[in-house]
Amino acid sequence: MQKLAKDTLTARGADYFEPRTGAVSVPIFQSATFRHPGQGQSTGFDYSRCANPTRTAVENTLALLEGGRYGLAFASGMGAISALVKIFKPGSHIIVSEDLYGGTYRLFTRYYEMYGFSFSYIDTSDFSCIESAYTTKTKALFIETPSNPMMKVTDIQRCADFIHSKGGILITDNTFSTPCFQNPLALGSDIVVHSGTKYLEGHNDTLSGFLVHSHDEYEQELRDAQMSEGAVLSPFDSWLTLRGIKTLSVRMEKHEANARAAAHWLRQHPKVEKVFYTGFSDHPQYELSRKQTRGDSGMVSFYVKETAFIRSILERVKLVLFAESLGGVESLITYPWEQTHTSIPEEMRLRAGVTTRLLRFSAGIENADDIIADLEQAMA
């Protein structure tokens, strides 16, 4: 078959139809167990914690979109990251982007540190910080790019070359950009992480997480962790995610357009001190972003001039919803200081730029003028 464009791949997925019936929508195989044809024989599906046909379909679709050989689907992004840590041994050191999702910090620090792992949280957009943080025990770099919520961009290729020269691996959280705008595996990353709850599913109604990679030596270990911990994506949620991915390409175009409009409007507002958006030509890593991505996602963060403005804005928005999460069809506004990043120590939050004056905005797919009008009345 001809090589297909990204928007065709997202619309069709890995399975064009179900071969036995011709159904163009992958069926929901809502079964916990599967009949064996005979002793020592299997259809390839035995028990849904190990594998389920609907989950396999969405795993194959993510692998296809990211250009990887293997995809694994989990009940949440945190479930995916927890399974990922299992490929390392206690005593391993991992360098991590400092302005990352607070739940990832909590998982690493509260749980895996007591099992002998160590983590350094640094500004990975500054390559000298990576070099300084490296030790002989460093086994991986874990980067978010663009980062959450400060929208910093890390050089994926440079990070890959560096950590590979040291015998380690690069892990890239691609939640913000999605496979539509960025493909870390093609830039040298070893494993890609997604919170599928966000843009992939796209409708704020399903939790999911994914790992995508092409390493034979990690595949069985990751599968064993997935099966043993049991944090697998259910058949119905797998189907919802597959359905969401079908419109991912067109949604990302609208998210991006709305975020750009909102970012430029916010930049002119008298109550706004600074706007963080990768699409601005004066963004510190603008040229790098143009080099390794094909778009700017739908995420914007901004400082208001006074902390006192925060409560008023959050209580006055109507169309834009004050809620955690991002990437859905509805526009959302979040207060990282008290919500997504509250698990991170105050000193580290402030060092990363997550202050009491920061708001994070996720542009939905509504009309851009309506979004801006709502922000305007809320900030009046």
Supply the residues annotated as catalytic. Answer: 49, 101, 173, 198
Percent of residues in the chain assigned helix, strand, coil, to nearest 5: 40, 15, 45
282: Cα within 13 Å, side-chain hemisphere: 5
Cis before 27 (ω within 30): no
CA distance 92 to 139: 6
Q: Are 140 and 97 in contact (CB under 8 A)?
A: no
CA distance 197 to 352: 25
CA distance 96 to 100: 8
Residue type, 136: T
Cα 315–Cα 372–Cα 301 angle in degrees, nearest 5:
70
Q: Are 358 and 303 in contact (CB under 8 A)?
A: yes
14: Cα within 13 Å, side-chain hemisphere: 20
CA distance 104 to 75: 15
313: Cα within 13 Å, side-chain hemisphere: 27
- Residue 341: name the closest of 350, 331, 329 by CA: 350
Residue 112: DSSP 8-state:
G
Q: Are 54 and 14 in contact (CB under 8 A)?
A: no
CA distance 269 to 376: 9
94 forms beta bridges with: 119, 140
334 forms beta bridges with: 360
Q: Are 96 and 121 in contact (CB under 8 A)?
A: yes
Mention every residue, 6+ apart, whose C-beta is less than 8 A from residue 326.
Answer: 198, 199, 298, 299, 332, 334, 360, 362
CA distance 200 to 179: 9
